[in-house]
Amino acid sequence: MYKPTNAQIWSGRIDGTDSNELRWHQFVQCVDLNKVELPESLNRDIVIIGFCCDEGVRRNNGRLGAKKAPDLIRKYCSNFPVLNTNIKILDIGSIHCNDLNLDRSFNSLSKIISLVIAKNYFPIVLGGGHEVTYGVFKGVKNFLNQDSFGVINFDAHFDLREINPAIGSTSGTSIYKIDKKLQQINKRLDYLPIGIQTESNTRKLFEKFESLGCDLIMQEDFNALNDAQVSNQISRFLGNNQQIHLTVDMDVFNVSFATGVSAPNSWGILPDWYFKKQLQQIIKSNRLLSFDIAETNPDYDAEFKTIKLSSSIIFEVVRYMTT
């Protein structure tokens, strides 16, 4: 299920070859894990991994197409400037789910995530459907050394749906499965969903979330006018968790800015300076074990707005992790 990235995807404008002129396509190193062993990272370098899968979206009756996003996100990242040449960015390829076997895709992704973290890299995972988060967690869980594990989820949905045995895992079950798996290893899920919408979640899902005893930030509360409360909630969460996974589901954003998603959102948050401020607070906390971005769907993406926004978020993550 693993395929290396075609290095030609990383191409773009060339301003020069001096270190202060480089763009990502001149700097990112493509690595074929079939041929080369991933070297140890001395500086917690960045690794990019694709998850070309939207089987969980199909099972959740969403719009298909997210599996095409990883290579397009790579393409739109190509012209970003390199801000720190002391940190490497490696692209180690993608997991492809071509046989509807989602569990096998999870296992393949988790093995790569485990390898990446063991080698002291920071994994940035490009979805794919939001089922990707559980695959990342499966690779991360072996490195947990705290009683709790924090998950921050920018999302309109809780993703706490219970498993229907007739269907199996979906794009809406990742957090539910993470909670169950943590219970099995005597750890607790500390969950902070940001951008939750009342119209996008049933009462049962709100009740399930309340049973976790966690905090949340509703869509209507995530704005600069409410900055003191939002910043305090995020700061408190960061203070309570030494190990955190951050995931961004692109349907958290207003459809005007994110047309190409599996579940468009009329009331979503804005990808403005305030979002960047809170994203920076989270990343610069030095708490993150891993990051994924999910649900970008090129098949419905007018003028590639969502691809461009997804790529810009990746740029900000790398920027805050390395400067």
What would the pLDDT profile of 4-38 be if each residue is shown by its tens digit? Answer: 999 999 999 999 999 999 999 999 999 999 999 99
What pLDDT, in 10s, does the model give residues 48-104? 999 999 999 999 999 999 999 999 999 999 999 999 999 999 999 999 998 889 999
What pLDDT, in 10s, does the model give residues 145-173? 999 999 999 999 999 999 999 999 999 99
What pLDDT, in 10s, does the model give residues 182-205? 999 999 999 999 999 999 999 999
Q: SS3 sequence, 240-292?
A: HCCCEEEEEEHHHECCCCCCCECCCCCCCECCCHHHHHHHHHHHCCCCEEEEE
CA-to-CA distance for 195 and 211, rounded, in angstroms? 19
Report the percentage of the chain scoring pLDDT > 90: 97
Q: Are 161 and 86 spatial neighbours (Cβ–Cβ below 8 Å)?
A: no
CA-to-CA distance for 44 and 202, rounded, in angstroms? 40
Tokens 């009342």 map to which residue?
198
Q: Which pTM does this prediction carry?
A: 0.97
What average pLDDT does this structure show over 222-232?
A: 97
Predicted local distance difference test score (pLDDT) of residue 180: 97
Output the six-digit token pair for 177: 């499965």
CA-to-CA distance for 68 and 232, rounded, in angstroms? 37
5-35 as b/e: b if 16+ CB within 10 A: beeebbeeeeeeeeeeebbbbbbbebbeeee
Average pLDDT, the chain: 97
Classified as helix, coil or strand, 51 is strand
What pLDDT, in 10s, does the model give residues 256-276? 999 999 889 899 999 999 999
Predicted local distance difference test score (pLDDT) of residue 294: 98
Predicted local distance difference test score (pLDDT) of residue 99: 85
Confidence of residue 299 (pLDDT cuts 50, 70, 90): very high
Confidence of residue 323 (pLDDT cuts 50, 70, 90): confident
- How many degrees, rounded to 5, is the angle at CA 139 between CA 134 and CA 142? 120
> Residue 143 sits in a domain of what CATH number?
3.40.800.10
Output the six-digit token pair for 88: 């490497």
CA-to-CA distance for 238 and 150, rounded, in angstroms? 8
Q: How many domains does the chain have?
A: 1
Where in the sequence is the domain holding 237, given as residue range(s)? Answer: 2-322
Report the percentage of the chain scoring pLDDT > 70: 100
Other beta carbons within 10 angstroms of residue 216's beta carbon come to 18
CA-to-CA distance for 238 and 190, rounded, in angstroms? 10
- How many degrees, rounded to 5, is the angle at CA 69 between CA 64 and CA 72? 145
CA-to-CA distance for 130 and 55, rounded, in angstroms? 10
Q: Which residue has the higher pLDDT, 125 or 1?
A: 125
Q: Are 173 and 102 spatial neighbours (Cβ–Cβ below 8 Å)?
A: no
What pLDDT, in 10s, does the model give residues 36-60? 999 999 999 999 999 999 999 999 9
Angle of helix 227-240 relative to helix 273-283, nearest 10 degrees, comes to 20
